[in-house]
Structure 1
Amino acid sequence: MTTVLAYESNAIVELMEVLPVDRDEVWLKNALQQAIMVEIATIGPYASAMWSIKEGSGPVYDTIRRVIFDEMSHMGLVCNMLTTIGGSPILADPNVAPKYEYPLPGGVRPELTVFLEGLSKASVEMFSEIERPDHPVAEYETFTSIGAFYTAVEEAFEAHRHLIRGTRQLAYPMTHHGQGNDIVPLDSIEKVRGAIEVIKEQGEGTSASPENPFPGKEGELAHFYAFRELFHGRKLVKVSESPDMWDFTGDEVPFPPAHPMGRVPRGGWANGGENAPSPEVQQALDLFNREFSSMLRSLEKAWRTDDPSAARAEVGKAVGHMFQMGPKARALMERELPDGSGRTYGPEFLYVEGP
């Protein structure tokens, strides 16, 4: 099996079609690269919605911010899974960088279009579809999930424990964002199991409960259910026991005031027809895109060095770039689109080459 890097490929679908007995080292490296791409793909939509909230604070802002840091932690854990078996993550490459509006990478959930927009019912619905479990404890549809893909990855690790070498393992504390959020070295099958458990259950919850088993605060919900609360506008509460039943009938969860960021056209605002940016707006877009691209380059460097202190410094730089992205995104949301809709520009998350 050759390595498939294209974001638009069906690599995850093809990987899942490989018989378990044939899921070898190359399969596992390819799967982990795709998992990294999936984790990175969620950052743009979640961050756009968070940055659009006018107060820059409050319960909804805090919920989305918490999910973003969880996803960054998950990405780091998957990078450690790849380097522990001798692989090297690829993030700073136009072939693997996220694309919007577009399905998730690798063909997972092909019916789901991921887009960039401000906080809205449509964006929150899309967020919860990204995180949807196979068997939710509330809203009883069944879908193929990202969690199922991680289960296949875990099974491949179990079958090939000898591949775990503990090479180029990065440690970065993130406990202040929630239990289990530290990026930790993965040098044993037990630690790999634990990391995959964190990734799956922070996103989907467990089969018995919608609560996040690795919370920052007591009673925190897994990502899927936290986003469904925003969509329904009501807290999720237990309505019966034996068996436990949950429903969105609790206290009201109001949407905060938000900038009406328009949906970014596929490939960026340059493809927006009458909303194509002026030179001034394009300059602001370029500033954001360079910051985003620098973040990806720092993350890639972090897992390509054998010097632990240098790796940690690069992660620190990546976090710094992300904090710089926020003010640049909000500045774009102050600029109305020319079409008279009352909606605004917003960040594109386009990868651009750089040093």
Structure 2
Amino acid sequence: MKEQINLIKILEEKGFTYKTSDGIYFDTSKLKNYGRLAGQLLSEKVEGARIEKNPEKKNSVDFALWKFSQPGVKRQMEWESPWGVGFPGWHIECSAMSEKYLGSPFDIHTGGEDHISVHHPNEMAQTEAARGHNLANWWLHNAFLLVDGGKMSKSLGNTYSLDDLRKRGFDPLDYRYFVLGAHYRVPQNFTWQALRAARQARLNLINEIWQINGKDGQINADYVKKFQEKINDDLDMPGALSVVWQIVKDGAVPAGDRLATVLKMDEVLGLRLSDILKIEVPDPVKRILKERKQARLEKNYELSDKLREELKQYGFGVKDEPDGQKLILQF
């Protein structure tokens, strides 16, 4: 709170504020290029689109820096200030907190695309007016996550937590893989079917990596360059993920190098692929595989299928290929 009040005092000293009956306001007409983030001129802004109109404001888009508590009404959250008892406006806390914890200016400011028109332009205005420089060097806005093609809303009962995903048998990393599959500026539609597809794709990747039999490899510089080019191209995570799949499948690259390179890439992706290397085949699984191999030689397919099901209890599965059975991970 101290930092917010101090920032408002600086704006006041520099002539960017004025007082009304209900608070201290920022005068947007005093700041050149106000609203440029949204690509709108000050004259194009419309008052009342988000909040109730205030006839005392000098400009329709001026916003509150400090609001006065109503006389005789005790709020749960209110503080003393040079302007009287009240509370900060919606935007000032973000400018104050980011400056305190990230410095000013800081590199990257993120947020939802719904903040492009109001909240983020006002954040920018406060810091630029008070400090004389940008709040952040880069602004990245993500598109909305839809649910079954519609808006996510508590009233609709379609908001989900990671605990909800776990209850349905999903790992939080399945959701992470799902999110990596779309660019942050493109709306993404969450469905349980889409999450199942992401889970299967992640499991396929895990099995590909688990089957790589290589140690002491070197990081492949060419593939790392491709990966970084995707990352540096406006965070093209789907493209970066495709590079991971390319090297996993590239038999021309030594196994150890493929493994080392993928693990290096995963430092960015955060899929915890290194955990796969810790998975060992327990003795009961080895026994089941041996029994199943014999059952198939004897064409005892009923027993073979039964043993396949037993493997699932240990988190494993099996694929029958022309050269024999292949053990796979199956979570």
TM value normalised by structure 2:
0.24
| Structure ranking higher in strand proportion | 2
